[in-house]
Amino acid sequence: MSTSPMYSDSTVPFRVTDPQKIPVKRYYDQGFYDLETDKLWSRTWQMACRVEQIQNVGDWIEYSILGKSVIVTRTKDGIRGFHNACRHRGVQLVPGGGHGNCKTQGFICPFHGWRWNGEGKNTFVYGRHLFDESLLGEDELKLPECRVEEALGCVFVNFDDDALSLRETWGPVLDALEKRLHADQRAEWWFSTEIPANWKIAMEAFMEGYHVMRTHPQLQRAVPSLYNSMYGHDTGGIGDQVNPHWTKAENIAAQVKNLELLSEGMAGMVHAKEVELARMVPADVLPDDPQQMLMHWFGAVQHTIVEGLKARGENVPDLNALAVSDPVHAVEFLFPHYFLLPFFTSTSAYRIRPTGPESCTFEIWSLTHFPKGEEPDPVMEPTVLPYDSDQFPPIPRQDYSNIPVQQKGLHAKGFEFMRLSKEKEGMISNYNRIIDGYLADAPREKLASATHTLGGNFDGQFFLYDF
Protein backbone atom coordinates (compact mmCIF):
# COMPACT_ATOMS: atom_id res chain seq x y z
CA MET A 1 0.00 0.00 0.00
CA SER A 2 1.46 3.32 -1.06
CA THR A 3 2.16 5.82 1.70
CA SER A 4 3.10 8.71 -0.58
CA PRO A 5 1.05 11.93 -0.27
CA MET A 6 -1.92 12.13 -2.59
CA TYR A 7 -1.83 15.92 -2.77
CA SER A 8 0.93 18.34 -3.53
CA ASP A 9 -0.77 21.22 -1.72
CA SER A 10 0.96 21.38 1.66
CA THR A 11 -1.72 23.71 3.06
CA VAL A 12 -4.06 20.76 3.75
CA PRO A 13 -3.47 19.79 7.39
CA PHE A 14 -3.80 16.20 8.57
CA ARG A 15 -4.24 14.99 5.02
CA VAL A 16 -4.59 11.27 4.34
CA THR A 17 -1.26 10.01 3.02
CA ASP A 18 -1.89 6.30 3.66
CA PRO A 19 -5.40 5.19 2.60
CA GLN A 20 -5.52 2.75 5.52
CA LYS A 21 -4.84 5.39 8.18
CA ILE A 22 -7.03 8.45 8.82
CA PRO A 23 -5.53 11.16 11.08
CA VAL A 24 -7.95 11.72 13.95
CA LYS A 25 -7.38 15.48 14.22
CA ARG A 26 -9.47 15.81 11.06
CA TYR A 27 -12.44 15.14 13.34
CA TYR A 28 -11.94 17.87 15.92
CA ASP A 29 -9.28 20.37 14.84
CA GLN A 30 -10.75 23.86 14.48
CA GLY A 31 -8.45 24.79 11.60
CA PHE A 32 -9.43 21.71 9.61
CA TYR A 33 -13.11 22.42 10.29
CA ASP A 34 -12.66 26.02 9.12
CA LEU A 35 -10.99 24.80 5.93
CA GLU A 36 -13.92 22.46 5.24
CA THR A 37 -16.30 25.36 5.78
CA ASP A 38 -14.39 27.50 3.32
CA LYS A 39 -13.54 25.01 0.60
CA LEU A 40 -15.87 22.01 0.87
CA TRP A 41 -19.31 23.22 1.91
CA SER A 42 -19.09 26.29 -0.27
CA ARG A 43 -18.62 24.17 -3.43
CA THR A 44 -20.67 20.98 -3.07
CA TRP A 45 -24.25 19.96 -3.86
CA GLN A 46 -26.39 19.75 -0.73
CA MET A 47 -29.88 18.39 -0.17
CA ALA A 48 -31.95 21.46 0.76
CA CYS A 49 -35.52 20.17 0.90
CA ARG A 50 -37.97 17.68 -0.53
CA VAL A 51 -39.86 18.74 -3.65
CA GLU A 52 -43.27 18.02 -2.11
CA GLN A 53 -42.57 20.70 0.49
CA ILE A 54 -42.86 23.38 -2.20
CA GLN A 55 -45.72 22.09 -4.35
CA ASN A 56 -47.45 25.36 -5.18
CA VAL A 57 -46.25 28.58 -6.79
CA GLY A 58 -45.03 30.82 -3.99
CA ASP A 59 -44.19 28.00 -1.58
CA TRP A 60 -40.78 28.46 0.00
CA ILE A 61 -38.54 26.76 2.55
CA GLU A 62 -35.25 27.92 4.07
CA TYR A 63 -32.05 25.86 4.01
CA SER A 64 -29.03 26.85 6.06
CA ILE A 65 -25.54 25.54 6.73
CA LEU A 66 -22.53 27.13 8.44
CA GLY A 67 -23.87 30.67 8.30
CA LYS A 68 -25.14 30.47 4.72
CA SER A 69 -28.89 30.59 4.10
CA VAL A 70 -30.95 30.02 0.97
CA ILE A 71 -34.65 30.52 0.22
CA VAL A 72 -35.78 27.63 -1.99
CA THR A 73 -39.06 28.57 -3.68
CA ARG A 74 -41.35 27.44 -6.45
CA THR A 75 -41.92 30.15 -9.05
CA LYS A 76 -44.16 30.09 -12.10
CA ASP A 77 -41.10 28.96 -14.11
CA GLY A 78 -39.92 26.26 -11.70
CA ILE A 79 -37.88 25.96 -8.55
CA ARG A 80 -35.31 28.66 -7.81
CA GLY A 81 -33.01 29.55 -4.93
CA PHE A 82 -32.26 33.01 -3.53
CA HIS A 83 -29.63 33.98 -1.01
CA ASN A 84 -31.48 34.94 2.14
CA ALA A 85 -30.45 38.54 2.76
CA CYS A 86 -32.09 41.92 2.30
CA ARG A 87 -30.24 44.04 -0.26
CA HIS A 88 -30.43 47.02 2.10
CA ARG A 89 -28.48 45.99 5.20
CA GLY A 90 -28.35 42.21 4.99
CA VAL A 91 -31.10 41.17 7.39
CA GLN A 92 -32.40 37.70 6.59
CA LEU A 93 -35.76 37.90 4.83
CA VAL A 94 -37.06 34.59 6.18
CA PRO A 95 -36.24 32.86 9.47
CA GLY A 96 -33.95 29.88 9.75
CA GLY A 97 -35.88 26.65 9.38
CA GLY A 98 -38.94 28.56 8.18
CA HIS A 99 -41.40 27.83 5.40
CA GLY A 100 -44.44 29.53 3.93
CA ASN A 101 -45.93 31.00 0.77
CA CYS A 102 -44.86 34.35 -0.68
CA LYS A 103 -47.45 34.62 -3.47
CA THR A 104 -49.55 37.30 -1.75
CA GLN A 105 -47.07 39.44 0.16
CA GLY A 106 -43.69 38.41 -1.21
CA PHE A 107 -40.60 38.44 0.99
CA ILE A 108 -40.62 41.38 3.42
CA CYS A 109 -37.56 42.50 5.35
CA PRO A 110 -38.50 42.62 9.06
CA PHE A 111 -36.12 45.55 9.66
CA HIS A 112 -37.21 48.32 7.28
CA GLY A 113 -39.97 46.71 5.25
CA TRP A 114 -38.27 46.41 1.85
CA ARG A 115 -40.08 43.82 -0.26
CA TRP A 116 -39.34 41.26 -3.02
CA ASN A 117 -41.71 39.10 -5.06
CA GLY A 118 -41.36 35.35 -5.54
CA GLU A 119 -39.16 35.91 -8.60
CA GLY A 120 -36.57 37.81 -6.53
CA LYS A 121 -37.48 41.24 -7.94
CA ASN A 122 -37.63 44.18 -5.55
CA THR A 123 -41.16 45.63 -5.42
CA PHE A 124 -40.95 48.18 -2.60
CA VAL A 125 -38.37 50.41 -0.92
CA TYR A 126 -39.69 52.39 2.02
CA GLY A 127 -38.59 56.03 1.78
CA ARG A 128 -37.10 55.53 -1.67
CA HIS A 129 -36.41 59.27 -1.95
CA LEU A 130 -33.89 58.99 0.87
CA PHE A 131 -31.46 56.97 -1.27
CA ASP A 132 -29.27 57.79 -4.24
CA GLU A 133 -30.89 56.25 -7.32
CA SER A 134 -27.60 54.55 -8.21
CA LEU A 135 -28.25 52.21 -5.27
CA LEU A 136 -31.77 51.31 -6.33
CA GLY A 137 -31.52 49.95 -9.86
CA GLU A 138 -33.38 46.73 -10.63
CA ASP A 139 -30.18 44.73 -11.01
CA GLU A 140 -28.80 46.28 -7.84
CA LEU A 141 -31.78 45.18 -5.77
CA LYS A 142 -32.78 41.81 -7.21
CA LEU A 143 -32.04 38.88 -4.91
CA PRO A 144 -28.87 37.02 -5.95
CA GLU A 145 -29.64 33.47 -7.01
CA CYS A 146 -28.20 30.26 -5.65
CA ARG A 147 -27.84 27.30 -7.99
CA VAL A 148 -30.52 24.63 -7.58
CA GLU A 149 -31.20 21.29 -9.25
CA GLU A 150 -33.87 18.65 -8.72
CA ALA A 151 -33.22 14.93 -8.36
CA LEU A 152 -34.63 11.96 -6.42
CA GLY A 153 -37.60 13.95 -5.14
CA CYS A 154 -35.31 16.58 -3.59
CA VAL A 155 -33.96 20.04 -4.31
CA PHE A 156 -30.19 20.36 -4.10
CA VAL A 157 -28.32 23.66 -3.79
CA ASN A 158 -24.74 24.66 -4.50
CA PHE A 159 -23.13 27.94 -3.41
CA ASP A 160 -20.57 27.67 -6.21
CA ASP A 161 -21.86 29.29 -9.40
CA ASP A 162 -19.22 27.42 -11.42
CA ALA A 163 -19.80 23.95 -9.99
CA LEU A 164 -20.41 21.01 -12.29
CA SER A 165 -23.99 19.75 -12.50
CA LEU A 166 -25.42 17.08 -10.21
CA ARG A 167 -25.12 14.44 -12.89
CA GLU A 168 -21.55 15.39 -13.73
CA THR A 169 -20.65 15.41 -10.04
CA TRP A 170 -22.24 12.17 -8.86
CA GLY A 171 -22.06 10.12 -12.03
CA PRO A 172 -23.85 6.83 -12.84
CA VAL A 173 -25.22 6.23 -9.33
CA LEU A 174 -27.65 9.12 -9.84
CA ASP A 175 -29.07 7.47 -12.98
CA ALA A 176 -29.42 4.14 -11.17
CA LEU A 177 -31.22 5.73 -8.23
CA GLU A 178 -33.53 7.79 -10.43
CA LYS A 179 -34.68 4.61 -12.18
CA ARG A 180 -35.96 3.43 -8.81
CA LEU A 181 -38.52 6.27 -9.01
CA HIS A 182 -37.43 8.07 -5.87
CA ALA A 183 -39.02 11.23 -7.28
CA ASP A 184 -42.45 9.65 -6.69
CA GLN A 185 -41.80 8.90 -3.03
CA ARG A 186 -43.22 10.96 -0.17
CA ALA A 187 -42.06 11.39 3.40
CA GLU A 188 -43.95 9.56 6.13
CA TRP A 189 -41.90 11.10 8.92
CA TRP A 190 -38.81 13.23 9.49
CA PHE A 191 -36.65 13.14 12.62
CA SER A 192 -33.83 15.48 13.59
CA THR A 193 -31.29 15.51 16.38
CA GLU A 194 -28.05 17.19 17.39
CA ILE A 195 -25.19 14.74 17.93
CA PRO A 196 -21.98 15.65 19.81
CA ALA A 197 -19.71 14.36 17.05
CA ASN A 198 -17.97 15.59 13.93
CA TRP A 199 -20.14 15.27 10.82
CA LYS A 200 -17.73 12.79 9.21
CA ILE A 201 -17.90 10.44 12.19
CA ALA A 202 -21.70 10.45 11.83
CA MET A 203 -21.48 9.76 8.08
CA GLU A 204 -18.87 7.03 8.41
CA ALA A 205 -21.00 5.02 10.82
CA PHE A 206 -23.08 4.03 7.77
CA MET A 207 -20.32 3.34 5.25
CA GLU A 208 -19.95 -0.33 6.18
CA GLY A 209 -22.04 -3.17 7.57
CA TYR A 210 -19.11 -4.57 9.52
CA HIS A 211 -20.59 -3.09 12.71
CA VAL A 212 -23.82 -5.10 12.57
CA MET A 213 -22.61 -7.99 14.74
CA ARG A 214 -22.07 -5.83 17.82
CA THR A 215 -24.14 -2.70 17.18
CA HIS A 216 -27.28 -4.38 15.81
CA PRO A 217 -27.23 -7.81 17.51
CA GLN A 218 -30.89 -8.45 16.72
CA LEU A 219 -29.98 -8.63 13.02
CA GLN A 220 -26.98 -10.87 13.67
CA ARG A 221 -29.10 -13.25 15.74
CA ALA A 222 -31.83 -13.48 13.10
CA VAL A 223 -29.55 -14.59 10.25
CA PRO A 224 -26.02 -15.16 11.59
CA SER A 225 -25.04 -16.99 8.40
CA LEU A 226 -25.90 -13.91 6.32
CA TYR A 227 -23.71 -11.49 8.25
CA ASN A 228 -20.94 -13.99 8.98
CA SER A 229 -20.68 -14.72 5.26
CA MET A 230 -19.91 -11.05 4.67
CA TYR A 231 -17.78 -10.21 7.69
CA GLY A 232 -16.96 -13.26 9.78
CA HIS A 233 -15.38 -15.62 7.22
CA ASP A 234 -12.31 -15.34 5.03
CA THR A 235 -14.39 -16.49 2.07
CA GLY A 236 -18.09 -16.52 1.50
CA GLY A 237 -20.82 -16.50 -1.08
CA ILE A 238 -24.56 -16.47 -1.16
CA GLY A 239 -24.62 -20.16 -0.28
CA ASP A 240 -22.96 -19.36 3.04
CA GLN A 241 -25.91 -17.13 3.89
CA VAL A 242 -28.05 -20.25 4.41
CA ASN A 243 -27.78 -22.35 7.57
CA PRO A 244 -27.17 -25.93 6.38
CA HIS A 245 -28.69 -27.33 9.57
CA TRP A 246 -32.04 -25.65 9.01
CA THR A 247 -34.87 -26.70 6.73
CA LYS A 248 -35.84 -24.52 3.79
CA ALA A 249 -38.78 -23.23 5.78
CA GLU A 250 -36.53 -22.35 8.72
CA ASN A 251 -34.02 -20.56 6.50
CA ILE A 252 -36.74 -18.54 4.79
CA ALA A 253 -38.38 -17.76 8.13
CA ALA A 254 -35.03 -16.34 9.28
CA GLN A 255 -34.80 -14.16 6.17
CA VAL A 256 -38.33 -12.86 6.77
CA LYS A 257 -37.44 -12.19 10.40
CA ASN A 258 -34.47 -10.14 9.20
CA LEU A 259 -36.81 -8.06 7.00
CA GLU A 260 -39.16 -7.58 9.95
CA LEU A 261 -36.30 -6.31 12.11
CA LEU A 262 -35.10 -3.95 9.38
CA SER A 263 -38.65 -2.62 9.05
CA GLU A 264 -39.06 -2.16 12.78
CA GLY A 265 -35.61 -0.64 12.96
CA MET A 266 -35.88 1.92 10.17
CA ALA A 267 -39.38 1.93 8.53
CA GLY A 268 -38.53 3.14 5.02
CA MET A 269 -35.50 0.89 4.67
CA VAL A 270 -37.88 -2.09 4.51
CA HIS A 271 -41.47 -0.96 4.70
CA ALA A 272 -44.07 -2.90 6.69
CA LYS A 273 -46.19 -3.32 3.54
CA GLU A 274 -43.18 -4.92 1.82
CA VAL A 275 -42.70 -7.35 4.70
CA GLU A 276 -46.38 -8.24 4.48
CA LEU A 277 -45.96 -9.18 0.83
CA ALA A 278 -42.67 -11.01 1.43
CA ARG A 279 -44.44 -13.33 3.87
CA MET A 280 -46.66 -14.52 1.01
CA VAL A 281 -43.77 -16.24 -0.84
CA PRO A 282 -43.88 -19.96 0.06
CA ALA A 283 -40.72 -21.89 0.89
CA ASP A 284 -41.83 -25.33 -0.31
CA VAL A 285 -41.62 -24.42 -4.01
CA LEU A 286 -37.99 -23.28 -3.80
CA PRO A 287 -35.01 -25.33 -5.04
CA ASP A 288 -33.17 -27.53 -2.54
CA ASP A 289 -29.73 -26.19 -3.49
CA PRO A 290 -28.93 -23.49 -0.87
CA GLN A 291 -27.56 -20.97 -3.34
CA GLN A 292 -30.43 -21.42 -5.77
CA MET A 293 -32.97 -21.40 -2.95
CA LEU A 294 -32.01 -17.95 -1.64
CA MET A 295 -31.68 -16.42 -5.10
CA HIS A 296 -35.09 -17.75 -6.15
CA TRP A 297 -36.69 -16.62 -2.90
CA PHE A 298 -35.30 -13.09 -3.09
CA GLY A 299 -36.35 -12.77 -6.74
CA ALA A 300 -39.82 -14.03 -5.86
CA VAL A 301 -40.04 -11.56 -2.97
CA GLN A 302 -39.12 -8.64 -5.21
CA HIS A 303 -41.65 -9.74 -7.85
CA THR A 304 -44.39 -10.19 -5.25
CA ILE A 305 -43.70 -6.77 -3.70
CA VAL A 306 -43.75 -5.02 -7.07
CA GLU A 307 -46.93 -6.69 -8.28
CA GLY A 308 -48.66 -6.27 -4.93
CA LEU A 309 -47.89 -2.56 -4.67
CA LYS A 310 -48.79 -1.91 -8.30
CA ALA A 311 -52.15 -3.57 -7.62
CA ARG A 312 -52.63 -1.01 -4.84
CA GLY A 313 -52.02 1.80 -7.33
CA GLU A 314 -48.41 2.61 -6.42
CA ASN A 315 -45.92 3.60 -9.11
CA VAL A 316 -43.01 1.32 -8.21
CA PRO A 317 -40.13 0.08 -10.38
CA ASP A 318 -39.46 -3.48 -11.56
CA LEU A 319 -36.92 -4.46 -8.91
CA ASN A 320 -35.74 -7.66 -10.58
CA ALA A 321 -35.12 -5.87 -13.87
CA LEU A 322 -33.21 -3.09 -12.11
CA ALA A 323 -31.12 -5.63 -10.21
CA VAL A 324 -29.74 -6.64 -13.60
CA SER A 325 -29.64 -3.33 -15.47
CA ASP A 326 -28.94 -0.78 -12.71
CA PRO A 327 -27.96 -2.43 -9.42
CA VAL A 328 -27.45 -0.31 -6.32
CA HIS A 329 -25.95 -1.18 -2.96
CA ALA A 330 -27.56 -1.31 0.46
CA VAL A 331 -26.46 2.28 1.13
CA GLU A 332 -25.70 4.86 -1.56
CA PHE A 333 -23.97 8.15 -0.74
CA LEU A 334 -24.43 11.44 -2.56
CA PHE A 335 -21.36 13.40 -1.56
CA PRO A 336 -20.98 15.12 0.80
CA HIS A 337 -23.88 14.77 3.25
CA TYR A 338 -26.91 12.87 1.91
CA PHE A 339 -27.39 9.12 1.60
CA LEU A 340 -30.13 6.62 0.84
CA LEU A 341 -30.91 3.05 1.88
CA PRO A 342 -32.90 1.73 -1.12
CA PHE A 343 -33.69 -1.87 -0.12
CA PHE A 344 -36.94 -2.58 -2.01
CA THR A 345 -39.33 0.16 -3.20
CA SER A 346 -39.22 2.35 -0.08
CA THR A 347 -36.21 4.20 1.27
CA SER A 348 -34.60 5.59 4.37
CA ALA A 349 -32.82 8.90 3.74
CA TYR A 350 -30.21 10.59 5.90
CA ARG A 351 -28.81 14.14 5.89
CA ILE A 352 -25.97 15.34 8.12
CA ARG A 353 -24.83 18.96 8.50
CA PRO A 354 -21.88 20.21 10.59
CA THR A 355 -22.63 22.69 13.35
CA GLY A 356 -19.14 22.74 14.88
CA PRO A 357 -15.90 20.75 14.89
CA GLU A 358 -17.50 18.22 17.23
CA SER A 359 -21.23 18.58 16.61
CA CYS A 360 -23.66 18.01 13.77
CA THR A 361 -27.35 17.99 12.92
CA PHE A 362 -28.51 14.50 11.93
CA GLU A 363 -31.83 14.01 10.10
CA ILE A 364 -33.68 10.88 8.95
CA TRP A 365 -36.67 10.47 6.63
CA SER A 366 -38.87 7.46 5.98
CA LEU A 367 -39.89 7.59 2.30
CA THR A 368 -42.37 5.44 0.43
CA HIS A 369 -44.79 5.41 -2.51
CA PHE A 370 -48.52 6.11 -2.32
CA PRO A 371 -51.34 5.58 -4.82
CA LYS A 372 -51.95 8.67 -6.92
CA GLY A 373 -54.34 10.98 -5.09
CA GLU A 374 -53.64 9.37 -1.71
CA GLU A 375 -50.35 11.10 -0.95
CA PRO A 376 -50.14 12.51 2.59
CA ASP A 377 -49.66 16.19 3.32
CA PRO A 378 -45.97 17.16 3.15
CA VAL A 379 -44.01 16.84 6.37
CA MET A 380 -42.84 20.42 6.76
CA GLU A 381 -40.83 20.25 9.97
CA PRO A 382 -38.85 17.50 11.67
CA THR A 383 -39.65 15.94 14.99
CA VAL A 384 -36.64 17.12 17.02
CA LEU A 385 -35.43 14.70 19.69
CA PRO A 386 -32.36 14.28 21.91
CA TYR A 387 -29.92 11.88 20.25
CA ASP A 388 -30.43 9.35 23.06
CA SER A 389 -34.24 9.46 22.86
CA ASP A 390 -36.05 6.13 22.92
CA GLN A 391 -38.50 7.56 20.35
CA PHE A 392 -36.02 6.92 17.54
CA PRO A 393 -36.43 3.62 15.69
CA PRO A 394 -34.15 0.88 17.09
CA ILE A 395 -31.46 0.91 14.38
CA PRO A 396 -30.57 4.64 14.48
CA ARG A 397 -30.90 4.52 18.27
CA GLN A 398 -28.22 1.83 18.33
CA ASP A 399 -26.02 3.79 15.91
CA TYR A 400 -26.41 6.95 17.98
CA SER A 401 -25.11 5.08 21.02
CA ASN A 402 -21.75 4.62 19.26
CA ILE A 403 -21.17 7.94 17.50
CA PRO A 404 -20.75 10.28 20.52
CA VAL A 405 -18.47 7.87 22.40
CA GLN A 406 -16.35 7.38 19.28
CA GLN A 407 -15.91 11.16 19.14
CA LYS A 408 -14.70 11.15 22.73
CA GLY A 409 -12.35 8.25 22.05
CA LEU A 410 -10.62 10.13 19.26
CA HIS A 411 -9.06 12.37 21.93
CA ALA A 412 -7.40 9.45 23.73
CA LYS A 413 -3.65 9.80 24.27
CA GLY A 414 -1.69 7.88 21.66
CA PHE A 415 -4.63 7.47 19.27
CA GLU A 416 -3.40 9.27 16.16
CA PHE A 417 -5.03 7.35 13.30
CA MET A 418 -8.12 5.31 12.58
CA ARG A 419 -7.01 1.99 11.04
CA LEU A 420 -9.23 0.80 8.22
CA SER A 421 -9.96 -2.58 6.68
CA LYS A 422 -8.80 -2.72 3.06
CA GLU A 423 -11.79 -5.00 2.32
CA LYS A 424 -14.77 -3.33 3.99
CA GLU A 425 -13.92 0.21 5.14
CA GLY A 426 -12.54 1.63 1.92
CA MET A 427 -15.34 4.15 1.54
CA ILE A 428 -14.28 5.96 4.71
CA SER A 429 -10.84 6.46 3.24
CA ASN A 430 -12.16 7.37 -0.21
CA TYR A 431 -14.50 9.97 1.29
CA ASN A 432 -11.75 11.59 3.32
CA ARG A 433 -9.34 11.73 0.38
CA ILE A 434 -11.98 13.35 -1.83
CA ILE A 435 -12.50 15.91 0.93
CA ASP A 436 -8.75 16.53 0.86
CA GLY A 437 -9.06 17.10 -2.88
CA TYR A 438 -11.55 19.89 -2.27
CA LEU A 439 -9.36 21.42 0.40
CA ALA A 440 -6.39 21.34 -1.98
CA ASP A 441 -8.40 23.00 -4.78
CA ALA A 442 -8.09 19.99 -7.08
CA PRO A 443 -9.67 20.45 -10.54
CA ARG A 444 -13.46 20.04 -10.61
CA GLU A 445 -13.33 17.33 -13.26
CA LYS A 446 -10.91 15.22 -11.22
CA LEU A 447 -13.00 15.67 -8.08
CA ALA A 448 -16.09 14.56 -9.99
CA SER A 449 -14.30 11.52 -11.41
CA ALA A 450 -13.26 10.52 -7.90
CA THR A 451 -16.77 11.12 -6.56
CA HIS A 452 -18.16 8.69 -9.14
CA THR A 453 -16.26 5.89 -7.39
CA LEU A 454 -18.41 6.37 -4.28
CA GLY A 455 -21.37 4.84 -6.11
CA GLY A 456 -21.68 1.24 -4.96
CA ASN A 457 -18.71 1.69 -2.60
CA PHE A 458 -20.59 0.68 0.59
CA ASP A 459 -18.52 -2.10 2.21
CA GLY A 460 -16.01 -1.29 -0.53
CA GLN A 461 -12.28 -1.14 -1.11
CA PHE A 462 -9.84 1.73 -1.51
CA PHE A 463 -9.49 3.71 -4.73
CA LEU A 464 -6.43 5.76 -5.67
CA TYR A 465 -7.07 9.26 -6.96
CA ASP A 466 -4.92 11.38 -9.26
CA PHE A 467 -5.55 14.90 -8.00
pLDDT, tens digit, 9 for 90 and up, residues 24-79: 999 999 999 999 999 999 999 999 999 999 999 999 999 999 999 999 999 999 99
Cβ contacts of 174 within 8 Å, gap of 6 or more: 151, 152, 166, 167, 334
| CA atoms of 416 and 25, how far apart (whole Å) | 8
133 falls within a domain: yes
| CA atoms of 68 and 250, how far apart (whole Å) | 54
Residue 153 shares a structural domain with residue 225: no
Instruction: Give the per-residue pLDDT at 7.
Output: 40
| CA atoms of 69 and 107, how far apart (whole Å) | 14
Instruction: Give the per-residue pLDDT at 289.
Output: 82
Residue 270 shares a structural domain with residue 183: no
Instruction: Give the per-residue pLDDT at 265.
Output: 85
364 falls within a domain: yes
Beta-carbon count within 10 A of 445 CB: 10
Q: Report the domain count for the chain.
A: 3
Cβ contacts of 78 within 8 Å, gap of 6 or more: none
Instruction: Give the per-residue pLDDT at 3.
Output: 40
Long-range CB pairs of 222-231 (<8 Å, 24+ gap) are 222/254, 222/257, 222/258, 222/261, 223/254, 223/255, 223/257, 223/258, 226/255, 226/258, 230/459, 231/424
Instruction: Give the per-residue pLDDT at 41.
Output: 98
Residue 147 shares a structural domain with residue 251: no
Instruction: Give the per-residue pLDDT at 223.
Output: 86
3 falls within a domain: no
Domain end among 280, 314, 348:
314
| CA atoms of 19 and 28, how far apart (whole Å) | 20
Residue 152 shares a structural domain with residue 169: no
Instruction: Give the per-residue pLDDT at 8.
Output: 45
Range of the structural domain that residue 111 is part of: 47-158
Residue 367 shares a structural domain with residue 387: yes
Residue 116 shares a structural domain with residue 128: yes
Instruction: Give the per-residue pLDDT at 239.
Output: 44
The CATH number given to whatever domain includes residue 182 is 3.90.380.10
Residue 444 shares a structural domain with residue 337: yes
Residue 412 shares a structural domain with residue 370: yes
Residue 230 shares a structural domain with residue 309: yes
Domain end among 314, 344, 364:
314
Beta-carbon count within 10 A of 321 CB: 12
| CA atoms of 226 and 220, how far apart (whole Å) | 8
The CATH number given to whatever domain includes residue 91 is 2.102.10.10
Residue 68 shares a structural domain with residue 36: no
Ranges under pLDDT 50 in the chain: 1-8, 234-239
- Which of 281, 291, 287 is closest to 242 using CA atoms? 291
Report which residue type is found at 308: G
Instruction: Give the per-residue pLDDT at 6.
Output: 43
Domain end among 158, 177, 194:
158
319 falls within a domain: no
Instruction: Give the per-residue pLDDT at 9.
Output: 52
Instruction: Give the per-residue pLDDT at 240.
Output: 57
Question: Residue 7 to residues 23, 420, 441: CA-CA distances in angstroms?
Answer: 15, 20, 10
The answer to whether the beta carbons of residues 251 and 243 sit under 8 Å apart is yes
10 falls within a domain: no
Instruction: Give the per-residue pLDDT at 241.
Output: 66
The answer to whether the beta carbons of residues 266 and 396 sit under 8 Å apart is yes
124 falls within a domain: yes
465 falls within a domain: no
Residue 192 shares a structural domain with residue 243: no
Nearest 5°: CA angle at 407, between 405 and 408?
65
Residue 341 shares a structural domain with residue 445: yes
324 falls within a domain: no
Global pTM exceeds 0.75: yes
